[in-house]
Amino acid sequence: MKRESVWLLVRRSKSLFTQNLRLFTTIPQDPRRKVMEKNEKMIKDVEKKITRVLLCGYHFPASNQYTAEYLQNHSSIKVDVLPLEEVPNAIGNYHACIVKSMKLDSNIISRAVQMQLIMQYGVGLEGVDIDAATKHGIKVARIPGDLTGNSASCAEMAIYLMLGLLRKQNELQISIQQRKLGEPITDTIFGKTIFILGFGNIGMDLARRLKPFGVKVIATKRSWASSAQHSSEIRNDVDDLVDEKGNHDDICDFAAKADIVVCCLSLNSETVQPFPILLQSSKLFFYYF
């Protein structure tokens, strides 16, 4: 064999050896490690797709239980209930928050780095810094009372409290325990003038339930034009329910005419202004919803 052929054969053998060596070194020494890394990546990918929902506080347990049961078959949604004191430190791990009576100020909202939605069971958002949430790109929502039965529940509770005060429920219970008959002397709701301050969903449901009691209903609303934008059926319903309509300027005059005042307004700096004047009248009963 010629020297050139031998030299060429050596070069080819060396090249083949190098390629095999390179291929050998790319094979992992432990295949299980590669599988574990792949599984970890899959877990992280799944976690990224899970929407985590935070319920603030253990109060209103029925709402917590209902929400958890409703979502239990949705594997992509995880619901946690935390004590109020733990919310500030944990809120950064969640995408949605059911606030309930938790106060979410700008400091707590700034920690909600993954938050996309702050939601309220009902209509009360006075504890949420909406401006701070908007600044951080977080949507804030509530559930209108006419869609959940909340307004009907509040209306019935208002009537229960009216009857309880007029009938002197606490004093009457003491008299029964003491086996006294005919005292205390109680009053009836019939013929009373009832002022509904804020005629939204709760105020409207309250007026509907008061009519059979034979009362006069007077009401104030920021803008009655908003009612006029609805169907003619709703407009006629409002006209039938309210004996006298007024606006914000009529609050004190209407309160002077009323035997009972029911406040159906959200609590804020604007709506709280009339109350010091109204409280000067001792004949009025006040309810806040």
Per residue of the chain (289 residues), give pLDDT as tens: 545 554 444 455 555 445 544 544 444 555 556 556 655 654 554 456 889 999 998 888 888 888 888 888 888 899 999 999 999 999 999 999 999 888 899 999 999 999 999 988 777 787 889 999 999 999 999 877 666 678 888 899 999 999 999 999 888 889 888 988 888 888 999 999 999 998 988 899 999 999 999 999 999 988 887 655 554 445 557 778 999 999 888 888 898 889 999 988 776 666 666 665 566 554 555 555 5
Q: Are 275 and 251 in contact (CB under 8 A)?
A: no
* Strand-pair partners of 51: 77
Cis before residue 184, ω within 30 degrees of 0?
Answer: yes
How is residue 93 annotated by DSSP?
G
pTM above 0.75, yes or no: no
**What pLDDT was estimated at residue 134?**
93
Q: Are 121 and 60 in contact (CB under 8 A)?
A: yes
Q: Which of 228, 233, 283 is nearest to 260 (CA)?
A: 283
The four Cα atoms 278, 282, 284, 285 give a dihedral, to 10 degrees, of 100
Cβ neighbours of residue 271 under 8 Å, at least 6 residues apart?
A: 198, 265
Q: Domains in the chain, start-ordered, CATH in brackets? A: 46-143 (3.40.50.720), 148-288 (3.40.50.720)
Q: Are 261 and 267 in contact (CB under 8 A)?
A: no
**What pLDDT was estimated at residue 23?**
45
* Strand-pair partners of 261: 195, 286
* Strand-pair partners of 104: 128
**What pLDDT was estimated at residue 279?**
60
**What pLDDT was estimated at residue 67?**
85
Give long-range contacts, CB 8 A cutoff, 24+ apart: 277-286: 277/252, 278/251, 278/252, 281/255, 281/256, 283/259, 284/255, 284/258, 284/259, 284/260, 285/161, 285/162, 285/165, 285/259, 285/260, 285/261, 286/261, 286/262
Q: Is the dihedral of CA 94, 97, 101, 105 positive or negative?
A: positive
Q: H-helix or E-strand containing 202?
A: helix 201-210
**What pLDDT was estimated at residue 15?**
56
**What pLDDT was estimated at residue 16?**
47
**What pLDDT was estimated at residue 249?**
84
**What pLDDT was estimated at residue 31?**
58
Strands (E), the chain: 51-56, 77-82, 96-98, 117-119, 139-141, 193-197, 216-220, 244-246, 260-263, 286-288
